[in-house]
A and B are shown apart, each in its own frame.
Chain A
Amino acid sequence: MKVRVATSSQINAAVAGLDAWLETMRCPGGYGGPVAHWWQQSLMYTGAGLDWRYEGIIIGYLQLWERTGDAIWLEKACRAGDDLVAGQLEDCHFGASAFELNPATAGTPHEAACDTGLLRLAKALRKTAGQDWEKYALCAEHNLQSFYIEELWDAGTQSFRDSPTVPSFVPNKAATACEALLLLAEITGGASWIELYVLPTLDRILEHQVCGEGRLDGAIAQNSFGSRKVEKYFPIYIARCIPSLLQGFQVTNQEKYAEGALRAMQFISRWGYEDGSFPTVVYQNQRVNRYPSWIAALGDILRTADVLRPYGFDTDLTATENRLLAGQDDSAAMQTATGFAAQVDGQVEPIPDLRDVLHVAGWCDKAFRYLTSKAGPGLPAAQSSRFETTCKLQGQILQLEETPEILEVRRDRNVVYYWCKGEPWPQVASPEFWLH
């Protein structure tokens, strides 16, 4: 199949559109909106979520600022950083930081992802603008010290737990914490963060990597409880382990980290489909669940592939980039996935599931981050327009309409879901929307 490479004007238009849509998701305290995910949904809580959406939003705006020189993008990065500073609770956590578990706080890897965004912002401000960067660094350091190091660090296993109360390890989440700590070390000059926490954690991630088992080689197990590994391999999560492994190589020159990162990416590309998609999960018996087949989240795979190219990764992912760009609709946001309804039985229906066509800030940020790394030098004007489609949820045929102001879903002529953007809860939500 011959695939066409996206032009810079296509990418610039996509980025400008995403920025316009993100503006429609602004609400008191930050960026809001419902969440669809593999694990569960949060269609009810729609207020600001101070979770991993901030990683892609802050870094995306910083990249735009660097690539265009336009101060408006730095202002938007700072505004997002200010959301986190203002939303940090006394106990160090960020309010509603658990994404699909919102409105809970203490979400992982979400708070570390927020820290990464804050530290990238602090670093950029310190380097070039000399502005008030310390508040962002201090906010991140408070969270990393009080939560990750004091509550999640497990001295016995020399790695970050996923919960203070359960002996558990999730490689991609720990990798996100490592990325934040590496940035903190760079900003503060404190190399001990790397020695004490980052390198032992990266070693534990490598212990979760499959070695020499044919098509599974390079995969990283999703998590472990004590010594019991859960041998499920999620490409989008494996991709999130790779940047910190590469950084581990850069600071130590130990080849095991670069080699682990490269093998992880080769695992991902080995399982890719011709249409540019990837299975959502590959099991130890090499069976897969292909659905939901992510769209916006592909940004993380594409970004990771880019950082690995200087290390020898040379698979062409143009089809994946095209799939990502094709997921942008009239709202100017990227759709979440295809085939959510096929999650259970593998049967793809012609009418999309509501969760497929839902636009989620915490997925669109991944597309935004990737695309902004290629955007500029100028962006066209763009706006978020009315988006309407037929979809299904729990067997019901529905009409979804999103505008810059509202998200409304109707069954026949009855409104079954109505969210006025900016509000923390929908005003109407019939029982099928209670789905978790």
Chain B
Amino acid sequence: MIGTFPAFARAPLDYRYALDAAMSIFAGKSPPRVLCNPPELMSEIRQRIPFWAETSTAPAGLWVEPLRDTWREDLQSLAGALTGGAPLVIIASRALARLLLERHSWAGKPLGFLPGGIARLQHALARAGFLIEASYGIHSALAIGLNTSSQLMERWGRSDIGDRLHLAARHHYCTSGPLAMLGTVMLLIARKEQVES
């Protein structure tokens, strides 16, 4: 059933935003193959995608938080499972995600924390037969700056300005292009190439 995880225990917006964005890519398709490494995000995924593909092949894939130690095996497994033309959505934390208090207790070593980690993943995706269609930085550096300014204004007793800065931050929460690398979370949308028969 959709909608089963309490709002008071929700994951940071960075990840929820990326998951919601992924949903339109899965809409109308059979359940995707899901590979989620942080257990803390499992319930957020389940309440959006109640049923996950358990079969050997799947028409779509969601890969949350590739890890430094296992990402190659995980990619191989996903590449083997996804059919030609299947979208693969990857949600990966970047170095700035270290600032998120909620994730301080999360285990695992995200690949995206490593300098060049995402670039390596992108190259490996291409070698595995995936075409990268788009990449986005979620919770951009600009949004972080605006939110910090908002909090300062609140502290100085100018909530009227603070709220406007916070609302402005929402509009800059997602970015693409070179600045995408500076978000807390990276959203990569790839597609498995069709094999000519």
- Interface residues, chain A, with chain B CB atoms under 8 Å away: 40, 44-45, 47-50, 89, 93, 95-98, 101-108, 163-166, 230-232, 281, 283-285, 287-289, 343-345, 394, 423-429, 431, 434-436
User: Is B101 in the interface zone, CB < 8 Å from A?
Assistant: no
A45-B2, A104-B3 given; name 19 further pairs at CB < 8 Å.
A50-B3, A95-B3, A97-B3, A98-B7, A101-B10, A103-B47, A104-B47, A165-B8, A232-B159, A284-B159, A285-B160, A343-B164, A344-B168, A426-B27, A431-B174, A434-B174, A435-B174, A436-B13, A436-B17
Interface centre among A45, A164, A423, A425 (most CB of B within 10 A): A425
Contact B2 A345 (CB under 8 A): no
Given A165-B8, A431-B176, A103:B170 Cβ within 8 A: no
- Interface residues, chain B, with chain A CB atoms under 8 Å away: 1-10, 13, 16-17, 20-21, 23-24, 26-28, 47-48, 136, 157-160, 163-164, 167-168, 170-171, 173-174, 176
Contact A103 B48 (CB under 8 A): yes
Contacts of B27 in A (CB 8 A): 423, 425-427
Contacts of A49 in B (CB 8 A): 3
A303–B9 CA distance with the chains assembled, in angstroms: 34
Contacts of B48 in A (CB 8 A): 45, 103
Contact B163 A45 (CB under 8 A): no
Quick one: closest B residue to A95, CB to CB? B3
Contact B8 A344 (CB under 8 A): no
Contacts of B28 in A (CB 8 A): 423, 427
Contacts of A423 in B (CB 8 A): 27-28
A308–B133 CA distance with the chains assembled, in angstroms: 58
Contacts of A285 in B (CB 8 A): 157-158, 160
CB distance from B9 to the nearest CB of A (A): 8
CB distance from A7 to the nearest CB of B (A): 39
CB distance from B52 to the nearest CB of A (A): 16
Contact A434 B1 (CB under 8 A): no
Contact B171 A231 (CB under 8 A): no
A344–B150 CA distance with the chains assembled, in angstroms: 12
Contact B20 A289 (CB under 8 A): no
Contacts of B2 in A (CB 8 A): 45, 47, 95-96, 103, 424
Given A40-B170, A427-B28, A431-B174, A105:B164 Cβ within 8 A: no
Contact A44 B3 (CB under 8 A): no
CB distance from A385 to the nearest CB of B (A): 26
Contact B21 A44 (CB under 8 A): yes
Quick one: closest A residue to B1, CB to CB? A95
A335–B185 CA distance with the chains assembled, in angstroms: 34
Would you give 29 A-B contacts (Cβ < 8 Å), ordered by A? A40-B170, A50-B3, A93-B6, A96-B2, A96-B3, A98-B7, A101-B7, A104-B10, A105-B47, A107-B7, A166-B8, A230-B159, A232-B163, A281-B163, A283-B160, A284-B157, A287-B160, A288-B160, A344-B164, A425-B24, A427-B24, A427-B27, A428-B24, A429-B24, A434-B20, A434-B174, A435-B171, A435-B173, A436-B20
A47–B3 CA distance with the chains assembled, in angstroms: 9
Contacts of A47 in B (CB 8 A): 2-3
Given A283-B160, A285-B160, A434:B7 Cβ within 8 A: no
Contacts of A289 in B (CB 8 A): 160, 163-164
Contacts of A95 in B (CB 8 A): 1-4
CB distance from A84 to the nearest CB of B (A): 13
CB distance from B22 to the nearest CB of A (A): 9
Contacts of B3 in A (CB 8 A): 45, 47-50, 95-97, 102-105
Contacts of B171 in A (CB 8 A): 344, 394, 435
